[in-house]
Amino acid sequence: MNRSKEIPKLNPSQFDDYLFGNWKPKVSSLYENFHIERIENYKSFLKLPILPHRRSVYFFLYVSKGFAIRSKGLNSYEVKANTFFCLSTDQITSLEAISEDLEGFYCHFQPEIFNQPMLNVDVEKDFPFFQITAESLIEVPETGRVTNLLEILLSERTRNESHRAEIIALYLTTLFNEIKFLDSQSKKMTNNAASNLTQRYKILLSEQIYNKKTVIEFAEILAVSPNHLHKCVKTTTGKTAHELLEEMRVLEAKVLLKQTSMRIAEVAFKIGGFEPSDFSRFFKSKTGISPKEYRNLQN
């Protein structure tokens, strides 16, 4: 399914409103395609918690001090010092909390920035940590090279010279290759079959939540029995496969309520074929507030 036709994604100027309200960060002429900034320069302006949303850009955080609590779909991550958090477009994300001492870098970019004569980059193929199926956290045990590259990219952004887009793309490519190398050196592979199946289930929920309605249907795609799927999910998360399905429906509903003007009845039907009254009861039982109240929450 082509999600780009299903749900509008926030472009950089739109998610600035989502993140900061009336305050606006200093940006360059490249802002829609590339931006990097020190987290400590804007963290005090964040309107926490940042509700679930989708963005039109790839982005990453590099935390050098403190921590941030971020999400990717149904997974929550504590992004700690010397750690990258990477996210592709089309992923639901939120920001729950940050520490007072949080420092590091935020960067977003469009893949079009790599459309340069000297480059031939396919972001998700060449840098798998941006894939929907990838683990979002990458620990960086050696930070000197990485920090230097981030500093160079920051200096390029502050120069605000659009003709240097090719230079920026080259530095980004170098940075991502450094991250890929460090990730391959430190990655610990897991052979936990239950965890692997649960992760595949979560990814499938994210991809097929509008098309499939029951755990049985998801189990069929995963080529396992519903009972086996339930046991693996329960062992890994402490929740049932059905509970994760419901959590994904709530997450999608939150995004639709905030990022579209769809009527609540339309949202109800889209995320599970609910009658409006049934959807309202379901949503309130999971969130404590009605769909209308959630839509009216300040971002």
Give the pLDDT band of residue 134 (cuts 50, 70, 90).
confident
Residue 84 shares a structural domain with residue 42:
yes
Boundary of a domain, candidates 159, 186, 213? 186
- The more confidently predicted of residues 5 and 225 is 225
Query: In the numeric block, which tokens belong to residue 271?
Result: 């995320």
Query: In the numeric block, which tokens belong to residue 242?
Result: 């059905």
Rounded alpha-carbon distances, angstroms, from residue 30 to 109, 130, 161, 269: 9, 21, 8, 39
Residue 36 shares a structural domain with residue 152:
yes
* Count of structural domains within the chain: 2
Structural domain boundaries enclosing 264: 193-295
Residue 50 shares a structural domain with residue 164:
yes
Q: What is the pLDDT of residue 186?
A: 58
The residue written with tokens 């894939």 in the block is 131
Q: What is the pLDDT of residue 189?
A: 46
Beta strands in the chain (DSSP E): 34-38, 50-53, 58-65, 67-72, 75-80, 83-87, 93-98, 103-109, 137-139
Residue 211 shares a structural domain with residue 155:
no
- Tens of pLDDT along 110-127? 999 999 888 889 999 999
- Tens of pLDDT along 149-174? 999 999 999 998 888 999 999 999 99
Residue 131 shares a structural domain with residue 44:
yes
CB 256 within 8 A of CB 271: yes
Single pTM value for the model: 0.85
pLDDT > 90? residue 24? no
- What distance in Å separates the CA atoms of residue 156 and residue 162, rounded to the nearest whole number? 10
Boundary of a domain, candidates 169, 186, 203? 186
- Tens of pLDDT along 209-250? 988 989 999 999 999 999 999 999 999 999 999 999 999 999
Residue 28 shares a structural domain with residue 125:
yes
Give the pLDDT band of residue 1 (cuts 50, 70, 90).
very low
Q: CA torsion angle for 149, 155, 157, 160 (degrees, to 10)? A: -150
Boundary of a domain, candidates 186, 207, 233? 186
CATH number at residue 35: 2.60.120.280
CATH number at residue 224: 1.10.10.60
Q: What is the pLDDT of residue 299?
A: 64
Residue 203 shares a structural domain with residue 229:
yes
